[in-house]
Amino acid sequence: MSGPCERSGENEKQKEEEVAAPGLFAGVPEAEKGANADSDSDLETEGTGGRGELVRDTLYLRACRAHRVVPASCFLRLGNDPELNLRHRGLGPQGARALASALASNPHVERLDLRDNGLCGAGAEALADVLRKSSSIRDVDLSENKLGAAETQALCAALAVNPAVQKMQLAGNGLEEQAAQYLAELLLAHTGLKSLDLSHNQLNGQAGEKLGPALAENTGLTELNISWNHLRGPGAVAFARGLEANIFLKVLDISFNGFGDPGASAVGEALKANNVLEELNMSNNRISAVGALQLGLGLRANETLRTLVVARNPMGSKGCFGLLKCVRDNPAPALELLDFSDIHVNREFDDLAGSTKVAFPKLCIRTGVRRVDYKAELLPFLRASPPASAPK
């Protein structure tokens, strides 16, 4: 049986050719008039303000008929609005193909949000063709759409030849090592891309080894979110070395990976040379006191980083103390926020934090461990659980 993400057969292709025929722009043919004519006419004219919008809506409705999907009413009401939000609409591959037919003739959409629509292969490839040619779309969210390596390749190839897109979100798509190669090629080719979200994927150490060198050579990206992945070991080190050579990135989120002490040490080395990065999130990365000290050595020499989050790492009070002392030893620190949340600290650290705040009054040092209110949070679940049956 064919799955929902597989390509359509020859009959579907024939329908697409019919939809794309030049005669469709001449108005609704007589063969389509009948019992459904009035309702179609209402949909076509609602919220439109000109001949161009009528053509766009008519094209979309016909594409929906050809692909046998229900039209999205908010698209028909779009008008000249620059933002099209269709997240969580269940478009599927066929719905995306129908939408792509109309987007190709819409010069107004600047932000396209299709998060969580099950686009899969056919839908992603249809949208890739739109992104390849569009000169208006700047911001695209294709998160949570079951995209694989093939779909990533199509999207990256489209973006590589179109510098218009400045922000791309691909979070939660299960992207793995195979997709990293195409993402690396995109970083090397697309100088107009400013923000990239790859969070909540399956990018591993091998992916880090591919993305690191590309990050070093990238000349446009200013914000990268690669949190909630599996960057660890040599791959984490390779990725951090890419940060050392990068001269554009200002915001980096690598939280919830597995950088560990080797990765923290590599990031510390990168911070010694990097004079651009302003915000860095390294929370939940298995960094011990040893890694915290190596990271701190980079902070001792860095003069641009304003925010550093290392919360929920097993560095303990010793690691927090060593890192903070390195910040204190920096003659010209730029840090404004140092976040040690959910790490137990002792009195010695508190004393150092107090004296550091006196020396650097603009620095906010965040500490504190969240305490669970067992009565408020756990008892309702215990009450809801059925009592275990007594043994016979």
How many helices (H) does the chain have, and how many strands (E)?
16, 11
Question: Within a domain: residue 15?
Answer: no
pLDDT above 70 covers a percentage of the chain that reads 80
Q: What is the mean pLDDT of residues 324-333?
A: 95
User: Which residues, other chains included, contact 190 with Cβ-Cβ below 8 Å and sequence gap of 6+?
Assistant: 159, 160, 163, 165, 220
Please, are residues 197 and 168 in contact by the beta-carbon 8 Å criterion? Answer: yes
Question: Within a domain: residue 330?
Answer: yes
Please, are residues 167 and 159 in contact by the beta-carbon 8 Å criterion? Answer: no
Question: Within a domain: residue 304?
Answer: yes
Classify strands 167-169 and 195-197 as parallel, antiparallel or unpaired. Answer: parallel
CA distances from 317 to 308, 339, 351 (A): 17, 13, 12
Determine the Cα–Cα distance for residues 381 and 128; give it in Å rounded to an integer: 46
Please, are residues 340 and 365 in contact by the beta-carbon 8 Å criterion? Answer: yes
**Interval 94-147: pLDDT, tens:** 999 999 988 988 888 999 999 999 999 999 999 999 999 999 999 999 999 999
**Interval 356-388: pLDDT, tens:** 999 999 999 999 865 545 455 455 545 555 555
Question: Within a domain: residue 227?
Answer: yes
Question: Within a domain: residue 74?
Answer: no
**N residues, the chain:** 392
Number of compact structural domains in the chain: 1
Question: Within a domain: residue 360?
Answer: yes
Torsion angle of alpha carbons 228, 233, 234, 240, nearest 10°?
Answer: 50
Host domain of residue 203: 86-383
Please, are residues 130 and 101 in contact by the beta-carbon 8 Å criterion? Answer: no
Is the confidence at residue 41, as pLDDT, over 80? Answer: no
**Interval 146-179: pLDDT, tens:** 999 999 999 999 999 998 999 999 999 999 999 9
Question: Within a domain: residue 338?
Answer: yes
Question: Within a domain: residue 391?
Answer: no
CA distances from 224 to 19, 112, 302 (A): 39, 19, 20
**Interval 256-304: pLDDT, tens:** 999 999 999 999 999 999 999 999 999 999 999 999 999 999 999 999 9
Is the confidence at residue 52, as pLDDT, over 80? Answer: no
Please, are residues 260 and 234 in contact by the beta-carbon 8 Å criterion? Answer: no
Name the pTM for this structure. Answer: 0.83
CATH number of the domain bearing residue 135: 3.80.10.10
Determine the Cα–Cα distance for residues 74 and 53; give it in Å rounded to an integer: 14
Sheet order of strands, 307-309 included: 83-85, 111-113, 139-141, 167-169, 195-197, 223-225, 251-253, 279-281, 307-309, 337-339, 364-366
